[in-house]
Amino acid sequence: MTPAHDAAVPLDTRLCLHTLPTDRRLSAMRDYLAGVIRVDVAPLHADRPLHYRASLRTVPGASWGGAHVGAVCTTRTAQLCKDGQDDLMLLMPSAEALIEQPGREALHLRPGDAALLSQARPMRVSQQAGASWVLRVPHRDVARMLPRLSDAPMLVLRRGTPTLQLLRRFGRLLESDPLRGAASLQLAGRQLQDMLAVVLGQSPDYAAWAEEHSLAAARLRAVQADIAAHLGQGRLGLEWLAARQGLSPRHLQRLLAAHGTSYQEAVRQARLQAAYALLTEPRNAGMSISAIAHTCGFSEASALNRVFKQHYGMTPGEARWGCLNVDSA
């Protein structure tokens, strides 16, 4: 829970482990990071003392700060991702780091590089001992300025990216500014968002990434449309679908994984959506639930009933009955 504070001043949080007994350091660090950026943490080297000193400043629209850490691994687990947060994080470590996400190629950061990440997806960051600086902003605010920004970006901004170091220097300057008054706080948040958008807009790494992911998004929509058009056909399978799309099965699996899903889940979702649409269309009132199940590719009505209730919290019959009652009211 965020502690109560004066809304006219920034919220500053700090943690320094060297004053704590060694056996309490890891739990203190976990509590701190769980509260400020919603991640878990573990030392990379269990036989070495854990060192960590950090400060974070929060204003409307942005949180940022620096840290000096030992070699650690921070993890945003699938369970933590259920909190619904999709903030963007710009991570700038002074030492080498490795960033991993399920279904995506790992990112290797060298000193001076930065990574743009999303809290919407699970990730693991393994960082060697050194200093780091981080900026966190709402995805929606930056997406307004960068229309090609995807829902969950993951890319490296290489050392030398225009204005990248300027952004960090500006953030550090704001860390020492009193920032008194609501107007000052809002201005600081907007300026950090604007500067991040400028950094990304000037980055060749982002331009190449956005182009690649725009094509990937278009290809994903084509795959989803193909699945929806062939739900009732027995030949619908991974290899068949990949061949229709001109892809290898492995490439198709990677495409779906990069968007947080799998072939089986994509088909399941398409079948459920098609069944729901048929059930809630009054013109289909004479169509049996068994016929709807077979049309959508389910083996039998009981299979549809089971997954439909798991997903929507009601049976197919209840969905149909509710729709008919609304229309007749």
pLDDT tens column, 8-28: 688 888 888 888 888 888 888
Place of tokens 């209730």: 309
Per-10-residue mean pLDDT of the chain, 329 residues long, equals 56 86 85 84 84 90 92 91 91 95 89 93 93 95 86 88 91 88 92 92 84 74 88 86 88 85 92 91 88 92 92 89 56
> Is residue 218 in a domain?
no
pLDDT given for residue 307 in this prediction: 93
- Helix axis angle for 204-229 and 263-279, nearest 10°, is 50
Q: Are residues 177 and 257 in the same domain?
A: no
Tokens matching residue 75 = 């993890």
pLDDT given for residue 236 in this prediction: 87
CA distance 86 to 74: 17
Q: Are residues 257 and 145 in the same domain?
A: no
- Model-wide pTM > 0.85: no
Q: Are residues 187 and 270 in the same domain?
A: no
- Helix axis angle for 249-258 and 263-279, nearest 10°, is 70
Q: Are residues 190 and 278 in the same domain?
A: no
| Domain region containing 283 | 230-328
Q: Are residues 315 and 172 in the same domain?
A: no
CA distance 123 to 75: 6
Q: Are residues 197 and 236 in the same domain?
A: no
Calculate ∠ Cα 77-80-83, nearest 5°.
Answer: 150
pLDDT given for residue 94 in this prediction: 93
CA distance 32 to 26: 10
> Is residue 284 in a domain?
yes
Among the listed residues 69, 39, 38, 32, the one whose alpha carbon sits nearest the alpha carbon of residue 51: 69
Q: Are residues 262 and 199 in the same domain?
A: no
Q: Are residues 145 and 82 in the same domain?
A: yes
Number of domains in the chain: 2
Q: How far is CA 249 from CA 5, 117, 235, 329, in A?
A: 53, 27, 15, 49
Number of neighbours of residue 143 by Cβ within 10 angstroms: 17
CA distance 30 to 131: 18
Q: Are residues 146 and 260 in the same domain?
A: no
Tokens matching residue 14 = 């700090």
Structure letter (DSSP) for residue 18: G
Q: Provide φ and ψ at 98, rounded to 5°.
A: -125, 130
Domain final position from 203, 221, 250: 203
pLDDT given for residue 196 in this prediction: 93
